[in-house]
Chain A
């Protein structure tokens, strides 16, 4: 499973990019084609093992589960509460 960006809601603030890079996962990148938008590399993203970007994204609904389309911003309890 992985995450993807809903560009209709993303404000391009880069918080997800900064957090992902800080953790050295580097799944978030800026796609040069066509609009220099923030994207998530499906192969590098370790969700649901890592949910860090979700905790700092300020744009409601802007990150979704790639497979299901479920919005995970703000983070649902299963993304951050153990057990």
Chain B
């Protein structure tokens, strides 16, 4: 296992609340599926960073910031993540109010992350102001069929399905950030771009961990999480076949 992944797991994944009703499910999910995806994506990220560091220019840092802005830009974050609030029916809002609040907080976090990417572009002199980013294609597109896992939300509409996204995908974000800070720590703007993201992506991961440990306690709820995770592993990790929503 990559030392960065090992450190992440030892600090944040394996520690488990004694008696947490869904913890056994989460740990099995982690060992059977998540580790494979996390390791593969981290290996790819490290390889990409090492290749990019071989370059004599900083074009890759610009591209990284543009991609980050596209992924987490204010207009993307607000529209897409607000829609995800709708994954809880009105009648169930009271039961999931803390999850809704956490989602609202995450919208703010992601919007702030876009500002961090913009700081790099501004600080390096690659754009003169944030308005200019609206005219740069790379700052406004993503390779996925739908931004921010929105393609996951509609077929996987159970309130806890997004726990899979928080747990699996946000761990990938944490690991990528750990790699960037470790390998590019001599560039203060790159560190600035990632430092507060590190804590906030970890909080989003913890949301997923908490939801799985506390609420994901029935075969029905676990089935929804496994479906969503299967989709994510296929979409973001290239593992397995994309599962059919609702299929058993």
Q: Which residues does chain A contribute within 8 Å of B214, judged by CB atoms? A: 19, 22
Q: How many Å from the CB of B110 to the closest CB on chain A?
A: 14
Chain A residues, CB < 8 A from B17: 19, 51-52, 55-56, 80
Pick out which of these stretches binds chain A: B48-56, B65-73, B74-82, B201-209: B201-209
* Number of interchain pairs (Cβ within 8 Å): 58
Residue pair A56, B18 in contact (C-beta under 8 Å): no
**A13 cross-chain contacts in B, Cβ below 8 A:** 105, 203, 206
Tell me the nearest residue of chain A to B8, going by C-beta.
A74
Secondary structure dominating the interface of A = loop
Query: Contacts A11-B203, A58-B199, A59-B199: A19 and B210 contacting too (C-beta < 8 A)?
Result: yes
A56→B16 contact, CB < 8 A:
no
- Quick check: B18 and A82 within 8 Å, CB to CB? yes
Residue-wise, chain A 21-47 has the 8 Å CB interface mask toward B (1 for contact) of 010000000000000000000000000
Residues of B within 8 A of A52 (CB): 17, 20
B15→A54 contact, CB < 8 A: yes
Contact A58 B15, CB 8 Å, known A13-B105, A18-B98, A22-B214: no
* Count of chain A residues with a beta carbon within 8 Å of a chain B beta carbon: 21
For chain B, give the interface size range: 20 to 34
A58 to B25 alpha-carbon distance, docked (Å): 21
Report the separation of the CA atoms of residues A75 and B9 in the bound assembly, to the nearest whole angstrom.
12
Q: Which of B183-232 contact A (CB under 8 A)?
A: 199-200, 202-203, 205-207, 209-210, 213-214
Residue B12 lies at the interface, judged by CB distance under 8 Å to chain A? yes
Task: Tell whether, in the assembled complex, residue B206 and residue A15 are in contact, meaning their CB atoms are under 8 Å apart.
Answer: yes
Report yes or no: B210 in contact with A18, Cβ–Cβ below 8 A.
Answer: yes
> In whole angstroms, how far apart are the Cα atoms of A19 and B211 in the complex?
10
B210/A56 in contact, CB under 8 A:
yes
CB B207 to nearest CB in A, in angstroms, measures 7
Query: Does the CB pair A15–B203 fall under 8 Å?
Result: yes
Q: How far is the CB of B214 from chain A (nearest CB, A)?
A: 6
Task: Given A51-B17, A79-B15, A80-B18, check contact A56 B199 (CB 8 Å).
Answer: no
Beyond A51-B17, A58-B205, 4 additional pairs, beta carbon < 8 A: A19-B210, A55-B20, A57-B206, A59-B203
Closest 9 CB pairs of A and B: A58-B202, A74-B11, A58-B203, A75-B15, A55-B17, A13-B203, A52-B17, A56-B206, A58-B206
